[in-house]
Structure 1
Amino acid sequence: YQQALAMWQRLFPGDHPDIALSLNNLGYLYYFQGKLSQAEPLFQQVLAMQQRLFEGDHPDVAQSLNNLAGLYQSQCKLSQAEPLLQQALAMWQRLFEGDHPHIATSLNNLAELYRSQGKMSQAEPLYQQALAMLQRLFEGDHPHIATSLNNLALLYYSQGKLSQAEPLFQQVLAMRQRRFEGDHPDIALSLNNLAELYQSQGKLSQAEPLYQQALAMWQRLFPGDHPDIALSLN
Structure 2
Amino acid sequence: MDSIIVWLTENATVLGSLSAVVGLVLFVWAIIAKPFSRDKPTVLAPETIEQIKPNATKDGPSLTTAEFIRLRRELKGDLEEEFKAANAEGQARLRERIAELQSQIANPEPALAEAQKQISDLKDRLSRMGNEVGGERLNEAYDAFQRLDYSVADEIFAEVEERQRLEVEQASRAAFGRGEIAEAEVRWADAATHYARAARLADTLDTLYKAALFAKLAGDYKSSLRFAEDMVAKARAEDDRPNLSRALDRLATAYQETGQYEPSEALFREALQIEATDQGKTSRTYATYLNNLALVVKAQGRYVEAEGLYREALEITRATIGEGHPDYATRLNNLAGVVEAQGRFAEAEGLYREALEVTRATVGEKHPSYAIRLVNLGSLLGQTGRATEGREMLEQALGIFRATLPEDHPNIAATLGHIADLPDTP
Where on the TM-score scale, by shorter chain, does this alignment land: which range? 0.7 to 0.9
Q: Is 2:249–2:268's contact at 8 Å kept on the other side of the alignment?
A: yes
TM-score under structure 1 length normalisation: 0.74
Alignment of 1:1-234 (within 5 A): 22=203, 24=205, 27-28=208-209, 29=211, 32=215, 34-35=222-223, 38-39=226-227, 42-50=230-238, 53=239, 58-97=241-280, 99-218=282-401, 221=403, 225=407, 227=409, 228=411, 231-232=415-416, 234=420
Query: 1:127-170, CA deviations, whole angstroms, 9 ceiling, x for partnerless residues?
Result: 00001111111234210001110111111122222122110011
Residue identity over aligned pairs, in percent, reads 25
Task: Give the number of equivalent residue pairs.
Answer: 213
Q: Is 1:92–1:103's contact at 8 Å kept on the other side of the alignment?
A: yes
User: Considering only aligned residues, what root-mean-square deviation do their CA atoms show, in Å?
Assistant: 3.3
Q: Is 1:46–1:64's contact at 8 Å kept on the other side of the alignment?
A: no
Rounded Cα–Cα distance in structure 2 between residues aligned with 1:177 and 1:41: 34
Q: Is 1:23–1:42's contact at 8 Å kept on the other side of the alignment?
A: no
Rounded Cα–Cα distance in structure 2 between residues aligned with 1:216 and 1:137: 34
5+ residue gaps, structure 1: 9-20
* 1:112 CA displacement: 0.8
Aligned partner letter, 1:46? K
Q: Cα distance 1:78–1:168, how it changes in 2: closer, same or farther (>3 A)? A: same
Q: Cα distance 1:41–1:169, how it changes in 2: closer, same or farther (>3 A)? A: closer
Query: 1:52-78, CA deviations, whole angstroms, 9 ceiling, x for partnerless residues?
Result: x36xxx323322332332333344322
4+ runs deviating over 3 angstroms: 21-31, 35-41, 211-219, 222-230
Q: Is 1:68–1:81's contact at 8 Å kept on the other side of the alignment?
A: yes
Q: Is 2:225–2:254's contact at 8 Å kept on the other side of the alignment?
A: no
5+ residue gaps, structure 2: 1-160, 167-201, 421-426
- Is the deviation greater in 61-70 or in 110-119? 61-70
Between structure 1 and structure 2, the one with the greater Rg is 2
TM-score under structure 2 length normalisation: 0.43
Q: Is 1:108–1:130's contact at 8 Å kept on the other side of the alignment?
A: yes
Aligned partner letter, 1:48? R
Q: Is 2:284–2:320's contact at 8 Å kept on the other side of the alignment?
A: yes
Aligned partner letter, 2:278? L
Rounded Cα–Cα distance in structure 1 between residues aligned with 2:227 and 2:391: 42
